[in-house]
């Protein structure tokens, strides 16, 4: 899956890039703020999904970044943040959220479920660390399984 990372902490962005690459995903770019997202969009960004932090550099907002990504490129976002309340308040702008901190195995399980969604399929199961928002589920009719193990 081609993924964009929108994260202002360079160490977190690097760790995400390494995790994603190790899992076989392609990181198509990183941005530290909404201006960076807009520049990537202007440059013809092609991604399947964006992992977006809510609180970005220079007072920028991940919610605005997610809205711009969807509007300009059609790319869906998942909030990857430690601000669960903020993510829930903005659930209309993303397909879901992962709460930091998250380990590599949790990220791998979440990405498997997210990849199914961006391909238009309901995931076989959704790991506990991933919350899918109603907008993500509206187009899928298959039963949703939650938990640590697939059913």
Residue 148 pLDDT > 50, yes or no?
no
Q: Band of the pLDDT at 46, cuts 50, 70, 90?
A: very high
Q: Is residue 33 part of a domain?
A: yes
What does the pLDDT read at residue 121?
85
Q: Is residue 128 part of a domain?
A: yes
∠ CA(83), CA(17), CA(80), 5° rounding? Answer: 15
Q: Is residue 144 part of a domain?
A: no
Q: Is residue 121 part of a domain?
A: yes
What does the pLDDT read at residue 4?
97
Number of structural domains (the chain) is 1
Q: Is residue 52 part of a domain?
A: yes
Domain boundaries, position 93:
2-137
Residue 94's CATH number: 3.40.50.2300
Q: Band of the pLDDT at 138, cuts 50, 70, 90?
A: low
What does the pLDDT read at residue 128?
86
Residue 141 pLDDT > 50, yes or no?
no
The pLDDT tens digits of the residues spanning 49-103 come to 999 999 998 888 999 999 999 999 989 999 999 999 999 999 889 999 999 888 8
Q: What is the mean pLDDT of the chain?
A: 87
Q: Band of the pLDDT at 140, cuts 50, 70, 90?
A: very low
Angle between helices 34-42 and 62-73 (to 10 degrees): 10
Q: Is residue 98 part of a domain?
A: yes
Q: Is residue 149 part of a domain?
A: no
- Identify which of 134, 93, 103, 97 has the alpha carbon closest to the alpha carbon of residue 22: 103
pTM: 0.88
Q: Is residue 143 part of a domain?
A: no
∠ CA(74), CA(79), CA(138), 5° rounding? Answer: 60
The pLDDT tens digits of the residues spanning 29-40 come to 999 999 999 999
């Amino acid at each position: 899956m081609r993924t964009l990372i929108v994260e202002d902490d360079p160490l977190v962005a690097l760790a995400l890039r390494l995790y994603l690459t190790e899992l076989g995903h392609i990181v198509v770019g990183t941005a530290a703020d909404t201006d960076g997202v807009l520049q990537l969009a202007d440059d013809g960004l092609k991604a399947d999904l964006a992992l977006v932090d809510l609180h970005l550099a220079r007072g920028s907002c991940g919610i605005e970044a997610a809205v711009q990504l969807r509007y300009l490129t059609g790319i869906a976002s998942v909030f990857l943040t430690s601000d669960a309340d903020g993510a829930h308040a903005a659930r209309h702008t993303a397909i879901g959220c992962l709460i930091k901190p998250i380990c590599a195995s949790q990220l791998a399980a979440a990405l498997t479920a997210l990849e199914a969604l961006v391909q238009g399929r309901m995931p076989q199961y959704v790991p506990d660390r991933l919350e899918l928002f109603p907008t993500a589920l509206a187009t899928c009719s298959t039963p949703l399984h939650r938990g640590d193990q697939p059913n």
